[in-house]
Amino acid sequence: MRSIQLNNTSKHSIASRLGLLFITLATVLLNTHYLHAEGMGEVALLQFGLLLVTGLAGFVAASAVVYVRRTNSPKDIRWFAYGWCGVSAFVASSVGVALDAIPKVWLYHAAVLGLLQSIVIFHSQLLIASGKIKTNNNLQLIQVSLLLVAVFVEFIFFDNDSALGFAKALGEALSITTLVSFFMLRGSWRDKPTLEDGNCMRSDARKKLLTHGTLGSTGSILQLLTNRSNLSLLDNYAGSAGAGLYAVVYYGAEAIWSVARALAPMVNSEVAKSDSQEEAMKITKEYLKHTLLFTIPLVIVACLVPESVYLLIFSIDGVSCPLRLLAPGIVAGAVSIIIAHHLSGIGMHKWNAYTSGLGLIVLISVGYYLIEDYKVCGAAIAASCAYSAQALGLIIGLKKV
C-alpha cells in the first residue's frame, strides 16, 4: 500500500491548524472572560445565523468548486458564485429569523457577515483547487488573527465587551480578510482547468456547480444543523447560559478536529486529481490513519483534564462532563471529515448529504428526549450519537463507490 509521508504542505497545514487552535482559544478566552455563559450563548446564535448564510451560499460557492475546477477556469464561475452569495445572504438570514432559529436582532449582522464569509470561503476553495494549500492556510490564519486583535481592541480599548462588540470585531476582521483573499487570487482568474483534458463551456460549469453543489451543500447545511441545532434546543430549555456552555464544549471539539481539517483539503485535492479509484482509496486511508493518530490522544487528554482546570481557563463551570460525553462523537467526527472530503473529490456529494441528514435525524430524536432533563450533558450525548451514525454511513458510502 502507498505510504503518504507528511510532506512540507502537510506539515504546514498541521502547523497552521495548531496556530488556528491557539489563536481561536485566545479569542474564546476573551469571550468567556468578558461575556460569560449568557453572552457566549448570544454570540453562538449570531454565528449560527452566519453559518446558515454560508451554508446556502455553498450550493454554488463552496463544496463543488474544487470538482468543477477540474474542467473549468475560475472566470467561468466567478460572477455566478458572487451573485449566489449575495442572494443567499438575504434569503438565509431572513428564513433563519422567520423560523426563530436566530434572534431578530442578528438579522442584518448575519446577512452582511455571512456574505463576507461566503466570499472568503469561495476564494479559499479556488486556492485549494489550484493546489495552493499553503496560501489557503495563511488566509485562514489571517482571518482568526484579525478577529483576535479586533476583539481585544473592542473589549479592552473601547470597553465594548458585549455580543454586539464581538459582532463589530467580526465584521472588521472579515472585511479585511475578504480584501486579502482578492489579493491572493490576483492573476489567477484565467488559470486553466486542473485536469489536462478539462475544457468545458461556462454554462456547463454553472450546471455542474448547481448539480454537485446542491448535493454537497445540502449535506453542509444538514451538517451545520447537526452541529448547531443543540444551541437552539438548549436556548429553549436552559436559556442562553446553557447554549453558551455547550458552545464552549463544542469549541473543544472544533479544536481537536483541527488536525482532520488540516489534512482534509489535501484529501480533496489529491483525490480529485487521482488517476484511479484504487489510488484515491490509498490516499484517503493513509490520511485517515494520520488523522486518528493525532485525534485519539488529544481526545484522551481532553477527557483526563479535571473540571477545576477548565473552570480556571474558561471561567465557566460544567465543561468536563459534557466534553467527555462528546468524546466518541469527536473521534467519529474526525473520521467523517476525511471521508467526506474523499467523496467530494470524486463528485459523490450525495453521500455527504444522506449521512448529514441521518446525523440530524439522530440528533433531534435523541436531543428532544434528553436535553429537557439533562440539559448540556443531554446535548453532548445527542451529538455523539449523531456523529457516530454519520461516520458509519460515510464508511458504508466509501465502500460502495
pLDDT tens by residue, 238-277: 888 888 899 899 988 988 998 898 888 888 878 887 878 8
pLDDT band, very low/low/confident/very high, at 196 (cuts 50, 70, 90): low
First to last CA, the chain: 19
Is residue 1 scored above 50 in pLDDT?
no
Q: Give the mean pLDDT of 74-85.
A: 92
Q: Is residue 356 assigned to a domain?
A: yes
Please state, in angstroms and rounded to a whole number, the distance separating the CA atoms of residues 285 and 289.
6
Q: Is residue 136 assigned to a domain?
A: yes
What is the predicted pLDDT for the residue at 219? 73
The Cβ of residue 204 has, within 10 Å, a number of other Cβ atoms equal to: 14
pLDDT band, very low/low/confident/very high, at 215 (cuts 50, 70, 90): low
Is residue 223 scored above 90 in pLDDT?
no
Residue 303, helix vs strand vs coil: helix
Sign of the torsion formed by the C-alpha atoms of 342, 221, 236 and 47: positive
Q: Is residue 171 assigned to a domain?
A: yes
What is the predicted pLDDT for the residue at 6? 57
Which of 145, 132, 174, 158 lies closest to 34, judged by CA? 158
Supply the pTM of this predicted model. 0.77
Report DSSP state, residue 72: S
Please state, in angstroms and rounded to a whole number, the distance separating the CA atoms of residues 83 and 66.
19
Please state, in angstroms and rounded to a whole number, the distance separating the CA atoms of residues 174 and 183.
14
Domain count, the chain: 1
Phi-psi region of 102 (alpha: psi -120 to 50; beta: other; left: phi over 0): beta
Half-sphere exposure of 349 (CA within 13 A, CB side): 27
Question: Mean pLDDT, the chain, as a whole number?
Answer: 88
Give, in order, the Cα–Cα distances in Å from 390 to each of 11, 215, 350. Answer: 28, 16, 13
- Range with the lowest mean pLDDT among 44-48, 113-117, 387-391? 44-48
Q: Give the mean pLDDT of 322-347.
A: 93
Q: What is the phi/psi pair of residue 30, to 5°?
A: -60, -45
Is residue 206 scored above 60 in pLDDT?
yes
Q: Is residue 3 assigned to a domain?
A: no
The Cβ of residue 159 has, within 10 Å, a number of other Cβ atoms equal to: 10
What is the predicted pLDDT for the residue at 216? 64
Q: Is residue 307 assigned to a domain?
A: yes
| Cβ atoms 173, 143 nearer than 8 A | yes
pLDDT band, very low/low/confident/very high, at 62 (cuts 50, 70, 90): confident
What is the predicted pLDDT for the residue at 36? 87
Return the higher-pLDDT residue of 169 and 41: 169
Q: Is residue 372 assigned to a domain?
A: yes
Please state, in angstroms and rounded to a whole number, the distance separating the CA atoms of residues 263 and 169.
29
| Cβ atoms 217, 68 nearer than 8 A | no
C-alpha cell belonging to residue 268: 480533496
Q: Is residue 2 assigned to a domain?
A: no
Q: Which of 71-80, 117-126, 188-197, 312-321 has the largest mean confidence?
A: 117-126
**% residues pLDDT > 90 (the chain):** 53
Which residue segment(s) compose the domain that 99 sits in? Answer: 8-400
pLDDT band, very low/low/confident/very high, at 288 (cuts 50, 70, 90): very high
